Structure 1
């Protein structure tokens, strides 16, 4: 019997030590969680931020108009969309509506469709009446010049190629007015 008592007592002590260590680990994890939540979250930019200058690019729109960083003579509204992107599907009609009334008309609106001709056919039909449409592969042309990391990407670019406003919604573009 004394052996059994000693065994039970030993197991009880081990359980108590385990409990104390577990409580300590939980407290430590909570402290780390609080420290991490207090840090500002740095999310990667989906497109070049305001103040940045776009890289060089050269492209021909679906209706044969040559556009490049050197042909910017007025502020330009840019939208980059990808097929299969639900946010793009939601925002493309809003972008087209904004493009309709953008100063300078469709010549000052660039709509970049990332994909193949077949994949972007519907978007192309929607955008061609209000924008110069560029169809390109991801990471080339204007998507590379704007450092696009996700879709949709929207930007206002001035005549010097400087991003005036950018983001994923039209509200993001309204935060800073366009200056020629």
Structure 2
């Protein structure tokens, strides 16, 4: 009888711990739902920070023209995309479906092993504006402090005003899918 009593008490304790854990998860999920999930003002440490001045850079676009920080003389949106990146595909699809109002520059990390995929991504984002193709660790990434793909940066006169990985990040703060920086 004592073995059965011990087993029941142990089982009750395990069930109580699991119940407390479940209630904590439910409370956290409700909190996230009420707050709209992750919000832009709780800034992701991997994204360029608003207020950052874009450092000097130089890349060549697909037409052979040079793009430098001087291009950022007004509101300009810059998208960083990588060939083979699923979230990059989703962001570029969303941008093409609802083109931004401001000038747009796409920085594409090409894949020499997948030239067809690289060409398709260049053609897609080319509909948005200028496109530059870069290699891994290109200095332009450091200039914008972009360390992850995709990254969408809004600039005004060479200063980053907002950054995110989805258009929804910006819709929460601006009420528009693709705000002008």
Taking the aligned partners of 2:165 and 2:110, their CA distance within structure 1 comes to: 19
1:87 matches 2:82: no
Taking the aligned partners of 1:63 and 1:87, their CA distance within structure 2 comes to: 26
Taking the aligned partners of 2:76 and 2:48, their CA distance within structure 1 comes to: 15
Candidates 114, 133, 136, aligned match of 2:134: 136
Distance apart, 1:60 and its partner CA: 1.4
Taking the aligned partners of 2:70 and 2:166, their CA distance within structure 1 comes to: 26
Aligned to 1:71: 71
Structure 2, gaps ≥5 residues long:
1-41
After superposition, give the CA deviation of every residue in 1:135-154 in whole Å (9 maximum; x if it has no partner).
Answer: 00232132221111211100
State the Cα RMSD in Å: 3.6
Distance apart, 1:178 and its partner CA: 4.1
Query: How high is the TM-score relative to the length of structure 2?
Result: 0.65
Q: 1:169 to 1:114 in 2, by over 3 A?
A: same
Taking the aligned partners of 2:149 and 2:139, their CA distance within structure 1 comes to: 16
Contact 2:83 2:111 (C-alpha < 8 Å) held by counterparts: no
Aligned to 2:144: 146
Contact 2:75 2:180 (C-alpha < 8 Å) held by counterparts: yes
Taking the aligned partners of 2:159 and 2:70, their CA distance within structure 1 comes to: 12
Aligned to 2:118: 120
Distance apart, 1:116 and its partner CA: 3.3
- Tell which structure's C-alpha radius of gyration is larger: 1
Q: 1:90 to 1:71 in 2, by over 3 A?
A: closer
**Structure 1 residue ranges (4+ consecutive) displaced by more than 3 angstroms after TM superposition:** 173-179
Distance apart, 1:44 and its partner CA: 5.3
